[in-house]
Amino acid sequence: MNVFFHGATRSVSGSLHVVEARGQRWLLDCGLFQGRRQDMYDRNAGVPVAPAQVTGVLLSHAHVDHSGRLPRLVKLGYRGPIYASPATLDLCALLLDDSAYVLRTQTRILNLRRAPRNLPPLPDLYGEEDVAQTLRQMVPVAWGTPVTLGPGLTAEFLPAGHILGASIIVLREQAGDAPCTLAFSGDIGRPGDWILPDPAVQAGVHHLIVESTYGDKTHRPYQYARAEFAKNVGATLRGGGIVVIPAFSVGRTQRVIYELHAMIAAGEVPPTPVFVDSPLSVEACIRFVNHADALRPLAHGVHSFAWLDAHNVVSSEESRLLRARPGPFVVITASGMCEAGRVLHHLKRALPDAHSRVVFVGFCAEDTLGRWLRDGHDSARINGDVVPVRAAIDQFDSFSSHADQLGLLDWVCAHGAARSVFLVHGEEPQTFALAEQLERRIAAEVIVPFSGEGFTLTPDGVHSIHQ
Ligand SMILES: [Zn+2]
């Protein structure tokens, strides 16, 4: 079996690895590169393998940095199968349409800059029709049921605990008497999560490809963050204020709704209306209810339809009315980094109000309004207006859906017999910090591949392919 690394190498976006075995060529993920507009366009325009030479795709989960280049592959002519868990397939129907819209907007901005320089307009990377064709090529695969990919090659999907439907993918090549097994982590979640299953461990794996997003970090124990969250949010609501929670539509929004329900049920937070003001987030909530079998049995006083219990705000008229509603209430809204969307209207109202609170529960990249507010500035520019910041600003990174360094070490070490561990999906400081810790704990060879690098894997070991 050969493996080649073409994305998320020493970085966190564009996840794509190629596995060659038994005359077949399979892609593990086909994710979108994220970054500066022109760079993003150029890197996402191509794929590393000619579509006609791809046997099939195995998709770990629906986040666009893992799935967002699939419609591009299809637009370039790929017509083979794309295997994914049923919930991943369902979430892709949401997220890839959204991705097509975002990419089209980006391309339009690029073209506005090209026109004065007499440069021809760039075509869209893909559109809704390519997304529809991608979804037609997707094949649902249940966790724990191996699928035959071709002669002598099987794949098994297992829960990864990162977002709804997120999977670890185990590839088995039967070559003579000695099978060779490779496990791809996708993104790994946190053991002991209230909603998502624990990341699975497969016995007898020879080689691992592992994410390293938080390879150098230790998350604050969740129960402490949760207690502080309940105390702060409860205080604001008792004082009649508004709590604005900017959150990503898939995963983080549902976690916050779940926590708020549990806190209200336990009397930690006063019973107050919780609004979800984002059509995409509301759609994602419906997916959570439809795929309850991919989640843990719900507990903590929360029943299985909690995600539909929140007051869903879909139309822009309803959203406008909500902005005029007096407190107390909670509104969970997108985007999580406050770059665009309805969150801007809610921030414009809440930020100047000393009785209100803005609660960040996720990562905010540099140069975003979310990061600006997290950094503690006393005013902010929103849609051209300068708004004073008097509301309280909280940050709770413990809501992360990625394992921290200890979680990653535990997961890798549980695969005691592995011969090699490839670290991907992390910036270099995070990845090398994890590599150093792993080298102290396991006998396996730890490799941080460069883009384009290839390796031959056998049951006994690994060696680099010099091209
Ligand atoms: Zn992810």
Q: Which of 16-25, 192-201, 205-214, 232-241 has the lowest mean pLDDT?
A: 192-201
For residue 14, is pLDDT > 60?
Answer: yes
Give residue 15 CA to ligand 1 midpoint distance, Å: 10
CB 45 within 8 A of CB 35: no
Exposed/middle/buried for 48, CB within 10 Å: 0-12, 13-18, 19+? Answer: middle
For residue 22, is pLDDT > 90?
Answer: yes
Give residue 434 CA to ligand 1 midpoint distance, Å: 18
What is d(CA 186, CA 210) in angstroms, rounded to the nearest whole number?
Answer: 7
| Mean pLDDT (whole number) for 54-79 | 97
For residue 49, the one-letter residue type is: V
**Which domains are present in the chain?**
2-217+401-465 (3.60.15.10), 222-399 (3.40.50.10890)
In the prediction, which pLDDT does 301 show? 56
- CA-to-CA dists, residue 201 to 46, 120, 173, 270, 419, angstroms: 34, 51, 18, 40, 16
Provide the pLDDT confidence category of residue 261 given band limits of 50, 70 and 90. confident
Give residue 16 CA to ligand 1 midpoint distance, Å: 13
* Cis peptide bond prior to 328, omega within 30° of 0: yes
Give residue 304 CA to ligand 1 midpoint distance, Å: 24
For residue 307, is pLDDT > 80?
Answer: no
Give residue 186 CA to ligand 1 midpoint distance, Å: 7
Give residue 187 CA to ligand 1 midpoint distance, Å: 5
For residue 306, is pLDDT > 70?
Answer: no
In the prediction, which pLDDT does 58 show? 98
What is d(CA 440, CA 462) in angstroms, rounded to the nearest whole number?
Answer: 19
In the prediction, which pLDDT does 50 show? 96
Give residue 313 CA to ligand 1 midpoint distance, Å: 26
Give residue 162 CA to ligand 1 midpoint distance, Å: 7
Give residue 28 CA to ligand 1 midpoint distance, Å: 14
For residue 302, is pLDDT > 70?
Answer: no
Provide the pLDDT confidence category of residue 129 given band limits of 50, 70 and 90. very high
Provide the pLDDT confidence category of residue 299 given band limits of 50, 70 and 90. low
In the prediction, which pLDDT does 466 show? 76
In the prediction, which pLDDT does 117 show? 96
Q: Which of 123-127, 165-169, 330-334, 397-401 has the lowest mean pLDDT?
A: 397-401
For residue 401, is pLDDT > 70?
Answer: yes
* Averaged confidence pLDDT in the chain: 93
Greater confidence, 364 or 253?
A: 253
Give residue 63 CA to ligand 1 midpoint distance, Å: 5
What is d(CA 167, CA 215) in angstroms, rounded to the nearest whole number?
Answer: 19
| Mean pLDDT (whole number) for 80-97 | 97
Looking up tokens 């503690």 gives 376
| Mean pLDDT (whole number) for 18-37 | 93
For residue 308, is pLDDT > 90?
Answer: no
Provide the pLDDT confidence category of residue 364 given band limits of 50, 70 and 90. confident
Give residue 188 CA to ligand 1 midpoint distance, Å: 8
Give residue 133 CA to ligand 1 midpoint distance, Å: 23
Give residue 405 CA to ligand 1 midpoint distance, Å: 16
Give residue 5 CA to ligand 1 midpoint distance, Å: 18
Provide the pLDDT confidence category of residue 12 given band limits of 50, 70 and 90. confident
